[in-house]
Amino acid sequence: MDPTADATPTVSSNADDIVRNLSLVRDEIAATAAQIDEQEMAALAGHLAGHLGQTGRVFVAGAGRSGLVLRMAAMRLMHLGLNVHVAGDTTTPAITSGDLLLVASGSGTTSGVVKAAETAAKAGARIAAFTTNRESPLAALADALVIIPAAQKTDHGSSVSRQYSGSLFEQVLFLATEAVFQSLWDNTDEQAEQLWLRHANLE
């Protein structure tokens, strides 16, 4: 029996493949980000700005790669001085009235994310959401809603993106949260050195 018969075939990419796909990803991100409604973004940023220097807390909740992007956003908001918690962490307290929940789900139907938004709404907290689906349960719960016009992760035949399984939503979500952070920071008097003092020193 040939010992190599069941071996996994070797997959390789050459420089042309990399150049082509760098352009693909860059162009899809740029085209999708350009379609985001800046007023929706400004409204969401306004909800976060209301927590700068205030007692209200900001919670973030997302699943999978979207959740990882929101964790990065949580760090940046912490650097600005907001009181930020990540849902699911062992030290995260109960959300209450006066707090803000920041959530993301491409489909707007991710069960854990929708459940978190429902819990926040019942507690009297406000909800700021990113999704592709304006008609989704998550969108219906949001006080501030930003639509990212990307393909949903199960829409494998989409003409919106050639990338795999929700990648474009997650990429543009990162860009959007960075733009929100930058906009909030632009409207403070704090220098980068001041923000850096809040950076984790127990890494």
Paired strand residues for 131 = 147
Hey, which residues are catalytic here? 170
DSSP per residue over 65-85, as a string? HHHHHHHHHHHHHHHTT--EE
Pairwise CA distance, residues 98 & 54, whole Å: 10
Beta sheet of 144-147, edge-to-edge order: 84-86, 58-62, 100-104, 126-131, 144-147
Site of tokens 């976060």: 48
* DSSP alpha helix (H) spans, the chain: 15-33, 38-49, 64-79, 111-123, 137-141, 167-186, 192-196
The whole-angstrom separation of Cα 40 and Cα 145 is 6
